[in-house]
């Protein structure tokens, strides 16, 4: 079983790039974020031709999440109760014995922007949602763009970014609280000390300089963690492919025995 998460930064703009990646990596399930299209406009046909079905929660222009699966899946839920104003940012699907959820946590914009409080509220509601609705005694993966650099190790320059957005104590403690429900960060479980990023700014040659952040995470329930054999950032797919432009996020991939 191979499960991945990937903020694609517009599925329409990225479709050919994504199809190439699916053919190359052959994941069984993928959490997509930032579809930037409505549920109706989702490219179901192109993905079905590639061997995938999709559980989708989209909206026009912004946000939008999906869980792509090779096997037929049951759509469990869309949206996060109480966080409707934040847009389409959570979808959960069940495939076989696995439950897979894709989340796109609000960016927050700046520390003094109203969206920053919305971000903290979203993370708190996400914790409550997991606590009350997810059976953590079964294989469960919450994959997504959390827009938080959890520790100093997850940032290219911990000193320069100290207390900057994505790095503040309230954001980090909100992620701690989510993990307090019993989920674990797979990357840190399997590779506690590896300095690895999942996002690099398009601007200023950030990727070339490896000035990135690790903000895309695969969170796992104990049974899912127990089966995990490998987790990695698919850095090659942050690179341009011929004429195809990459997302500013790389896929994060995990394999399970």
Within 75-94, which residues bind DNA (CB under 7 A)? none
Within 16-55, which residues bind DNA (CB under 7 A)? 34, 36
Name which position in 126, 213, 219, 252 contacts DNA (CB under 7 A).
Answer: 213
Name which position in 5, 9, 92, 221 contacts DNA (CB under 7 A).
Answer: 9
Q: What is the CA radius of gyration of the chain?
A: 17
Name which position in 13, 19, 75, 124 contacts DNA (CB under 7 A).
Answer: 13
Is residue 42 within a helix (H) or strand (E), and if so which, with residue range? none
Which string of x and - marks every residue 192-211 that binds DNA (by CB under 7 A)? -------x-xxxxx-xx---
Q: Does 256 bind DNA (CB under 7 A)?
A: no
Q: What is the largest CA-CA distance in the chain?
A: 47
Q: Does 109 bind DNA (CB under 7 A)?
A: yes
Q: Does 232 bind DNA (CB under 7 A)?
A: no
Q: Does 102 bind DNA (CB under 7 A)?
A: no
**How would you classify the pairing of strands 2-7 and 98-104?**
unpaired
What are 12's two structure tokens? 């329409």
- Angle formed at CA 34 by CA 55 and CA 138, multiple of 5 degrees: 45
Dist CA 97 CA 202 (whole Å): 38
For the chain, give percent helix, strand, coil, nearest 5: 30, 30, 45
Residues that bind DNA (CB under 7 A): 7, 9-10, 12-14, 34, 36, 60-62, 106-107, 109-110, 115, 145, 147, 166, 199, 201-205, 207-208, 213, 215, 238-240, 245-246, 248-249
């Amino acid at each position: 079983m191979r499960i991945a998460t990937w903020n694609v930064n517009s599925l329409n703009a990225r479709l050919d790039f994504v199809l190439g990646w699916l053919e190359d990596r052959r994941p069984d399930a993928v959490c997509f974020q930032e579809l930037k299209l409505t549920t109706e406009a989702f490219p179901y046909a192109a993905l079905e031709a590639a061997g995938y079905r999709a559980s989708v929660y989209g909206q026009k222009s912004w946000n939008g999440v999906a869980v792509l699966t090779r096997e037929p899946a049951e759509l469990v839920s869309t949206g996060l109760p109480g966080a409707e104003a934040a847009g389409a940012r959570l979808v959960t699907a069940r495939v076989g014995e696995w439950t897979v959820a894709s989340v796109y946590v609000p960016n927050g914009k700046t520390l003094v922007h109203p969206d920053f409080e919305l971000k903290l509220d979203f993370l708190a509601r996400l914790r409550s949602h997991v606590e009350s609705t997810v059976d953590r005694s079964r294989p469960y993966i919450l994959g997504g763009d959390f827009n938080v650099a959890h520790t100093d190790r997850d940032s290219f320059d911990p000193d320069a970014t100290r207390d900057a957005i994505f790095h503040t104590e309230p954001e980090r403690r909100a992620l701690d609280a989510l993990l307090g429900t019993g989920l674990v960060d797979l990357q840190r479980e399997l590779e506690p000390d590896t300095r690895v990023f999942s996002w690099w700014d398009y601007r200023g040659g950030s990727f070339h300089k490896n000035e990135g952040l690790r903000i895309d995470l695969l969170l796992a329930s104990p049974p899912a963690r127990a089966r995990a054999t490998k987790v990695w950032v698919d850095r090659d797919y942050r690179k341009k492919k011929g004429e195809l432009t990459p997302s500013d996020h790389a896929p994060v991939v995990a394999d399970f025995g």
